Amino acid sequence: MSGPSGGRPPLLVAVGLLGAAVLVLPVVALLVRVPWSDVGTVLGSTTAREALALSLGTSLAATAVSVLLGVPLAWLLASGTGRPAAIGRAVVLLPIVLPPVVGGVALLAAFGRSGVLGAPLEGVGVVLPFSTAGVVLAQVFVAMPFLVVTVEAALRELDGPRLDAAATLGADGWRAFRQVTLPAAAPAVLAGAALAWARALGEFGATITFAGNLPGRTQTLPLAVYLGAQTEPGTALVLSAVLVVVSLAVLVALRGRWLPGVLRR
C-alpha cells in the first residue's frame, strides 16, 4: 500500500466508497446482464451494423467540425477580456448544462422548416432535420463545448512571454498562432477532441428531437438502444455494452496521455 491510510477518517472513506458504488454498480449490473453468447448475432444484425457505422461516422464528423470551429472559438475566448469574454464563455458552456432535448427543440427552432435559418436553407435545397447531417449538427451542438472549454483552459495557461518573444522575432498574429500557440496547445486539442467525440457518440436527446429516428439515416447507437429496449432487450444490452467499452477505452487512453496535463490544475 502506498501512502499513509491510517490518517483517513473511516467515515469519509466509507461514504466515498458508497459514492463509488452508486456510479459503478449500474454499469457492472449492465455488463452482467448482457447475453454474451448472443453478441455475435446481435452485432451481425442489420440494425446494429447500421447504427454502429452511423454512430462512428457521425461522431467522427462532429469531432472534426468541433475542432475546426472550436479551436478558433477557444482562442477567441482565451484572448478576450472583460465582460464580453465572460458572457461568451457562459454562452458556450450552456449546451453542457442544457437538457439535450431542449437543445433539439432549439435546433428545430433554428434549422427546422419554419426556423430562422431552416426556411432560407430549404430554399437552397439544404434540409437538416431528419437527415444524417442533422445528426452531426445535433452532436456538434452538445459536444463542441467540451472541446472549447478544454482548449481555452490550456490557451490561458500558455505563457505570454513565449508569444511576446515570437512577436519580437517578427512573427505576425497568424504565424504566432500556427507555430507557437497551436503546437503548445496540441495536447489540449487532442484531449478536448476525445472528450467531444465521446460526448457525440453518446448523444441521444438532441438527436431524436431534431433528426428523428430512421435506421441507416439517423438511428445512431443510443437511439437503437432506446428503441431496442422496448422490443428486443438483448439487443439493447449488447449495444449498451459496446458503448460502455468504447467510452471506457477513451477514458483509459486519455488518462495515460493527455488528461493529467489538462485537468491537473
Partner 1 sequence: MVGSVARIARVVMLVGSVLLVGSVAACAGPTDGSDASRTLVVSAAASLAEPFGGLAADLEAQRPGLDVQVNLGSSATLAAQIVDGAPAGVFASAAEAPMDRVAERAVDPRPFATDDLVLAVPAGNPGRVAVTADLVRPELRIGLCATGVPCGDYARNALQDAGVTPSVDTEEPDAGSLLAKVRLGELDVAVLYRTQVRSAGPEVELVELSPSSDIRAVYLIATLRSPDGSPPSDDARAFVDLVLGPGSATLRDAGYGAP
C-alpha atoms less than 13 angstroms from C-alpha of 193 in its C-beta half-sphere: 16
218 binds partner 1 (CB under 8 A): yes
**Could you say which of 30, 133, 167, 226 contacts partner 1 (CB under 8 A)?**
226
Q: State the nearest-atom distance from the C-beta of 166 to partner 1, in Å.
A: 50
Q: What is the spatial distance between Cα 250 and Cα 202, in angstroms, rounded to a whole number?
A: 12
46 binds partner 1 (CB under 8 A): no
**Could you say which of 99, 233, 260, 261 contacts partner 1 (CB under 8 A)?**
233
Query: Which three cell numbers mark 181?
Result: 500557440
Q: What is the spatial distance between Cα 236 and Cα 228, in angstroms, rounded to a whole number?
A: 5
Question: How many residues in the chain?
Answer: 265
Q: State the nearest-atom distance from the C-beta of 114 to partner 1, in Å.
A: 6
Per-residue mark of binding to partner 1, 125-144 (x: CB under 8 A):
----xx--------------
229 binds partner 1 (CB under 8 A): yes
Query: Which three cell numbers mark 29?
Result: 449490473
Nearest Cα neighbor of 110 from 206, 183, 23, 40 is 206
214 binds partner 1 (CB under 8 A): yes
248 binds partner 1 (CB under 8 A): no
Contacts with partner 1 by CB under 8 A: the residue count is 30
Q: State the nearest-atom distance from the C-beta of 69 to partner 1, in Å.
A: 25
C-beta of residue 66 within 8 angstroms of C-beta of residue 143: yes
